[in-house]
Amino acid sequence: MPSQRGTPARYARSLALAAMFLSLAACGSGADKASTGTPTEKRPRAESPRPGDQKVTLSWKGEKRVYTVHAPPTYSRTKNLPLVVAMHPYPGDGRAAAAISGLNKKADDENFLVAYPDGLNKGFNAMICCGTEDDVGFIRTLTQRLTRTWNADPDRVYATGISNGGDMTYKLAVELPDRFAAIAPVSGGFLGADAEKASYTPKTPVSVITFLGGADQYFPAMDKGIRTWQERLSCTTGNPRGVRQTNVKKTEAKCRDGSDVIVYRLPDMGHAWPEGAGGGMSDPTAGINATDLMWEFFKSHIRKAG
């Protein structure tokens, strides 16, 4: 696991290439566009919705794909619960996303479902890296299964992730806008060849809350990305405001399509999750808790029709 001020080498190389406008096709600029096809899918063996953690395996386009579902102690299939899809950094897996974010405890306290997909070969085919798999299609299937089998509320489905997983939330917002009400990228960005295209925006409202570290070497690119997102959606942005007794700055924006954008800029934080639950990518001194803030944001956003 990389340190909070570091980032995987592959992520670093890919971002450098993006900055120089080199070809990023191998990292999936267009691979997900064909994700509307029907895959070869097998029902997971012994999938049984219940409280606790459950690993689910399915065959997706010839590959074994895995995700873990965490359901709170009060889970009952008779109730429509919100769903948060949480994505790991590269290299990593769902266990890393759970360990960094602390979302399991939050789900137990607030009564929602969390799904932790594993990227193939420890990464997701996101904005600038890592891989060529149809991860948009995979996550579409994952959310369909959770709404059908686990009775997740289709109007309260959200996505979060860190680094490569954070980048992936932007891709999902654009390419699956009818699925997600809001996203919460952490130390992730709207980057790469697709992000350079003026047409690459959500077709239905998807609200965003994001957390960017000023000491992250990728801060300039990620900050530019969220500003581009707001420009494309004709968002009206307020002046930055301080947060409690910290040097964290918060900006809020209201966009033409009705979506909201909140940006937390943490000058002293590196490539990390603010006050995460543990691990090298958690910054316990950040001054704000990203998991708490994103859940409050998610609770106030229900999917809207375009």
Query: Which CATH superfamily hosts domain 50-299?
Result: Alpha/Beta hydrolase fold, catalytic domain (3.40.50.1820)
**Cβ-proximal residues to 21 (8 Å cutoff; 6+ apart), any chain:** 196
Torsion (CA) 195, 213, 92, 151 in degrees, nearest 10? -70
Phi, psi of 175 (to 5 degrees): -95, -15
The pLDDT of residue 100 is above 80:
yes
Write phi, then psi, for 124 (nearest 5 degrees).
-110, 145
Q: What is the mean pLDDT of residues 68-77?
A: 97
Residue 196 has pLDDT above 90, yes or no: yes
Report pLDDT digits (tens) over 135-187: 999 999 999 999 999 999 999 999 999 999 999 999 999 999 899 999 999 99
* pLDDT score of 215 more than 50: yes
Tokens encoding 253: 């924006």
Q: Where are the domains of the chain?
A: 50-299
What integer pLDDT is reported at residue 111 of this predicted model? Answer: 98
Region 242-260: what's the mean pLDDT? 95
| Cis previous bond, 235, omega within 30 | no
Is this prediction's pTM over 0.85?
Answer: yes
